[in-house]
Amino acid sequence: MAYETQDSIKGNDPDRAIISAALTGALTTRDQCEAIPYTPAEIAEDAAAAREAGAAVAHIHARTDTGQPTFEPETYQAIHDEVRDRTDIVINFSTGSVFDNIEKRLEYVSEVQPDIAALNMGSMNYAKYSDSREDFVFDMVFENPFDEIRRLLRTMQESGVKPELECFDTGHIGNTRPILKEDEIDSPLQFNLILGVLGGIPATVDNLAHQVRQLPDDANWQTTPIQRDQWPLTAASVAMGGNVRIGLEDNFYLPNGEMADSNAELVAKAAELVRNVGREPATPNEAREIMEI
């Protein structure tokens, strides 16, 4: 069993680590990494391969066949059906967007009803360096006001979809307090702690521990470190009793610095880390039980 403390594990399972595979992203392209899937069938094949490698959850942004981000409910439905035809992996759809399309996001959550939907918990400057860190791949304001958070949350609750609370900084965790106070969300809460996005909290072990200490005692949590910081922080997370997100949305590279051939290759490395600290990757059914989906 991994080293256990109340502060680190919270509501997580000390013996089982949930590995989420972030398959696509909204902004990553095949010009950057040829292995990124675009079409519903490609995404579904990647989800099935990630499941075989040890992932319990597939986190998905819909794309057009040419790789552009899309929020069309028909595309999300096609992805859902293709994935479910191939695997029992837990399906997690993104609702994050820098575009003005809240109605589309509400529509596909309520119509398609994935197992989980990601819910961004605050606004921020949002930027990402190129691999050389000499310039920006993108630089924008990521707006997530309380009104939109509440509208998305109500839709998820009414549709039987588990909200995953995406927190890029400490203030985003604090933004859950009025929602909890008004009893607008069911426990146990599911948090995704993103570290290393320029504009959010930097990716350090101290900052990860600080973020975890802010969470409710019964919360489930996973870590999403970005780019080069992914592997050291993933190792720290699994040792602390956390769950992890891995995948080409967040990082293209294996621990040795080589570009991954697939999402499944990244998942397999994460599963190896999980086993190295005496835990086992959770199956989709075990993940559903842990998260109470």
Average pLDDT over all residues of the chain: 92
Per-position b or e across 169-191, b if 16+ CB within 10 A of its CB: bbebbebbeebeeeeebeebbbb
The percentage of residues in the chain with a pLDDT greater than 90, rounded to a whole number, is 78
Contact assessment for residue 191 and residue 215, using Cβ atoms and an 8 Å cutoff: yes
**Tens digit of each residue's pLDDT (9 = 90 or more) over 48-88:** 999 999 999 999 999 999 999 999 999 999 999 999 999 99
In this prediction, residue 200 has a pLDDT band, given cuts at 50, 70 and 90, of very high
Q: Model confidence at 2, in pLDDT bands (50, 70, 90)?
A: very low
pLDDT at 218 over 70: yes
Q: What domains lie within the chain, and their CATH numbers?
A: 6-291 (3.20.20.70)
* Sequence-distant (≥ 6) Cβ neighbours of residue 121 within 8 angstroms: 144, 149, 165, 166, 167, 172, 173, 175, 176
- The one-letter amino acid code at 132 reads S
Is there a contact between 43 and 24 (Cβ–Cβ < 8 Å)?
yes
Place of tokens 């997370």: 237
State yes or no: pLDDT of 1 exceeds 60: no
The pLDDT, as a whole number, for residue 5 is 44
pTM of the model: 0.93
Closest by CA position to 117, among listed 146, 159, 64, 70: 159
Q: What does the pLDDT look like over 86-132, one tens digit per residue?
A: 999 999 999 987 666 789 899 999 999 999 999 999 998 877 666 66
Higher pLDDT, residue 102 or 245: 245
Alpha-carbon gap, residue 266 to 255, rounded angstroms: 9
pLDDT in tens, 3-41: 444 445 778 999 999 999 999 998 889 999 999 999 999
How many residues are listed for the chain in this entry?
Answer: 293
Distance CA 114, CA 235 (A): 29
Quick one: DSSP state of residue 169?
S
Return the ∠ at Cα 156 (arms to 151 and 157), rounded to 5°. Answer: 100
Mean predicted confidence (pLDDT) in 148-161: 95
